[in-house]
Every structure is written in C-alpha cells, then in structure tokens.
C-alpha cells in the first residue's frame, strides 16, 4: 500500500486556487444536472423543487428538524418506520439554517447539501491530489459529480454531507493529522450509519502508523547502541484521534438504545422496523436472481450483475494500484454495508456514492490523455448523468 504522507497541507488560499478547476468542473456538472431536471420536470408538469426537497428521506429529515425524534409510521403489515433511523447531524444543521435565515427546514437542507457537495468535491480532489497529483484530483471530483445518481448530491439528503466529512477525514488521515481525522470521523458517525467506515479507516491507519513507527524506533535503538527509543509525541495525538473517531456514532446509537429501552440493540430494532439489516448479501443475491425469471426483467438483472462486477473490479484495481490503506478500508466497508444490506435494493447506487475512491482508477486513466480529450469524455459522461438523473428523479427516484 502507498505509505501515508505527512507533508504539511498548503495554506487555505493556495489550496483553494489549486482546487479551483476541480470545484468549477464539479459545479458545472451539477448545474447541468439541475438544468436537465428542470427541463424534464417542466415537460412532465412536476416541481423540481419538490423533488429535491420534499420527497422520500428528505421529508424524514425535515420532520426531525422541525419536531425532534419520536415520529413513527405503522404500516398495515405491522412494520414500524421510526425517524430514529435517521442520524441527527443533517437535521441539526437544517434547524440551525432555518433559525438563522428566512429559509424553511427543507430549503435549509438544500443549502446544506449544496455547500456540503462543494466541500465533498474539494475533499475528493484533496485526497486524489495528495496521492496521485492535481490532474487526477480534478478528474476524480468531476467524475463524482457525474455518477449516474449524482442528482442526489443536489437533494436535501445526507449523502453530500457525509461524503464531505469522510473525504476530509481521509485526507487528514493520509496526511497524519490524527486529531482532525478523529473529529471528522466522529461527525461522519453522526450523519449516517456508514460512518463506521470512516472510523475503521482511521483506526486501520493509526494501527499501521503505530507499527511502522515502532519498527523505526527499534531500528534507531539498535543503531544508537542502547539509546532509549523516542518519538512519543505523535503517539498521543494518534491515540486521541482513535478515541474521538467512534464517539459520534456510538453516542447516537447508545442514545437510541436508552430511548427505546433496548440498550445497545435499540438501533438494530429501529432498523428492523424498516426491514433493514445485514445478511451478507443473501437477500440482494436473491433479488438479482429473481430478475432472470422473464426476458424484460432479465435485462435489469444483467445490468445489476454488471454493476456489482464493476464495483468489485474497481476495488480490486485500487488494491493493485496500491491505494493508501485508509482509502481501501473505507471503501471496502462502504461496499460491504451497501451491497450486503437486506432491503432497499433500489438504494444500492445511492448508498455506494460515498465510496469515491472507486473512481480513482478511472480518474487516473482520464488524466493521461491530453486535457481536451479528457474534457470531452467527462462532458459526455456528465450529459448522460444529467439526463439519467432527471429521468430517475421523475420516476422511481431514491426510495
């Protein structure tokens, strides 16, 4: 694996100038997606604003922001959908935005997602730039904007916020800023259950760093003929980062357990009410197999198989290209949690969206040709993504 770097981060102004092409490219792709959504919605007589702010999970987040926790829906089949399933950071920011501006909770959520998506694009650029260079960073940020379900980045959903926190936590990790990494991992854990992936990445990198430092100290001890090993300073910051990382997720899960009276299992009970759990991918495999019972649905089944194979292939390529350990651990956990969940099969692409290191092999390939050729490819991908996003959001959309 690529060794973790410790070079200092550039000053903010210089970093912003370096990231400017990535942020402009990202903003252009997302603007194209919103224009396509507006045109498609006008043709169908639907409201793009409603699609972005007041459907599916966005309604649950705004209810938490407005009314707090405790709301639930009992379905005819006995299932109980509780808003305790939704982690609190986005609703907290929606409530703060509504309190400090004339915006509604939903529009505050839209603003949070817009700002967070830019922060995520910057974080993705920063990670890719640090590992592979500036051109790869630009391509990675633009590719993330142009993923097929990239329109979710512009919705009042938590994916953009989570990806921003995860990307910058990973950047802090690969540059050896352990306390910052731990604090950002804790905030990511307050955003989505997949915050566990960020915690795992920070811990794996910290343990690897500890082992490497210990070997260096042992070699120095032998070379210096008995001089006591030193270098304890960074160890304290590394340990503090490891302690901070899980506090957000653990704190919310324990609070839910206390509120439900079920202790640490309370959050699992809440997820069970949504028929959501972790079964190693068995239910998803059965869902894919069921698509091959007739010809029209078999095409969808083949598409799912190809999609899963592409995800696995990109991860394997990342391993072969020796991506840094925290990126591989983070991506592996995100993939496992997304593909091995037992329900909401239509959500799989959305749940995989934070796994941005999967795009790094593609970004490296796009960074090799001349800029004009790379821009043409990215422009074509962005156009397809914009059209698909408008079609998808006006149809089944995110469940």
Query: What tens digit of pLDDT does each residue of 35-60 get?
Result: 999 999 999 999 999 999 998 999 99
d(CA 90, CA 160): 10
Q: How confident is the model at residue 85 (pLDDT cuts 50, 70, 90)?
A: very high
Q: How confident is the model at residue 216 (pLDDT cuts 50, 70, 90)?
A: confident
Question: Per-residue pLDDT tens for 86-141?
Answer: 999 999 999 999 999 999 999 999 999 999 999 999 999 999 999 999 999 999 99
Q: How confident is the model at residue 273 (pLDDT cuts 50, 70, 90)?
A: very high
The answer to whether the beta carbons of residues 127 and 171 sit under 8 Å apart is yes
d(CA 59, CA 362): 35
In whole numbers, what is the pLDDT of the chain averaged over residues? 92
d(CA 91, CA 24): 28
Phi/psi at 180 (nearest 5 deg)?
-60, -45
Query: In Å, how far from its chain's centre is CA 77?
Result: 32
Whether the per-residue pLDDT at 396 is higher than 60: the answer is yes
d(CA 185, CA 247): 9
Please report the pLDDT score of residue 218 as a whole number.
Answer: 67
Question: Which range (9-13, 146-150, 211-215) has the least confidence?
Answer: 9-13
Helix (H, G, I), strand (E, B) or coil at 75: coil
Query: Any long-range contacts for 318-321 (C-beta under 8 Å, 24+ apart)?
Result: 318/357, 318/358, 318/360, 318/361, 321/360, 321/361, 321/364
Q: What is the pTM of this model?
A: 0.93
Question: Per-residue pLDDT tens for 221-262?
Answer: 556 554 444 444 578 999 999 999 999 999 999 999 999 998
Tell me which residue has tokens 């919103």.
34
Whether the per-residue pLDDT at 353 is higher than 90: the answer is yes
Whether the per-residue pLDDT at 268 is higher than 90: the answer is yes
Domain ranges of the chain: 14-393
């Amino acid at each position: 694996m690529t060794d973790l770097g410790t070079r200092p981060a550039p000053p903010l102004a210089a970093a912003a100038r370096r990231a400017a092409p990535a942020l402009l490219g990202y903003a252009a792709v997302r603007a194209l997606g919103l224009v396509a959504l507006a045109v498609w919605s006008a043709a169908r007589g639907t409201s793009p604003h409603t699609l972005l702010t007041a459907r599916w999970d966005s309604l649950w987040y705004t209810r938490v922001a407005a009314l707090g926790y405790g709301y639930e829906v009992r379905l005819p089949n006995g299932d109980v959908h509780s808003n305790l399933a939704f982690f609190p950071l986005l609703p907290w920011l929606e409530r703060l935005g509504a309190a400090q501006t004339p915006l509604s909770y939903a529009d505050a959520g839209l603003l949070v997602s817009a700002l967070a998506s830019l922060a995520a694009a910057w974080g993705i650029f920063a990670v890719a730039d640090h590992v592979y260079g500036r051109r790869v960073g630009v391509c990675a940020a633009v590719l993330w904007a142009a993923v097929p379900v990239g329109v979710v980045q512009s919705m009042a959903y938590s994916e953009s916020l989570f990806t921003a926190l995860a990307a910058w936590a990973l950047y802090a990790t690969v540059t050896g800023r352990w306390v910052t990494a731990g604090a950002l991992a804790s905030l990511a854990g307050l955003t989505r259950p997949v915050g566990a992936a960020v915690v795992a990445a920070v811990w794996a990198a910290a343990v690897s760093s500890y082992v490497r430092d210990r070997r260096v100290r042992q070699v120095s001890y032998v070379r210096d003929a008995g001089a006591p090993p030193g270098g304890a300073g960074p160890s304290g910051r590394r340990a503090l980062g490891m302690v901070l990382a899980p506090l957000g997720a653990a704190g919310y899960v324990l609070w839910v357990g206390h509120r439900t009276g079920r202790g640490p299992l309370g959050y699992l009970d809440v997820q069970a009410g949504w028929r959501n759990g972790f079964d190693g991918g068995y239910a998803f495999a059965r869902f894919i197999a069921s698509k091959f019972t007739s010809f029209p649905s078999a095409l969808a089944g083949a598409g799912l198989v190809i999609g899963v194979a592409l995800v696995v292939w990109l991860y394997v390529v990342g391993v072969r290209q020796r991506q840094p350990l925290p990126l591989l651990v983070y991506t592996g956990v995100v993939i496992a949690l997304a593909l091995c969940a037992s329900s909401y099969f239509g959500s799989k692409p959305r749940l995989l969206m934070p796994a941005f290191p999967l795009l790094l092999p593609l970004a490296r390939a796009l960074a090799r040709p001349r800029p004009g050729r790379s821009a043409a490819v990215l422009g074509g991908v962005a156009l397809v993504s914009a059209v698909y996003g408008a079609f998808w959001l006006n149809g089944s959309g995110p469940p």
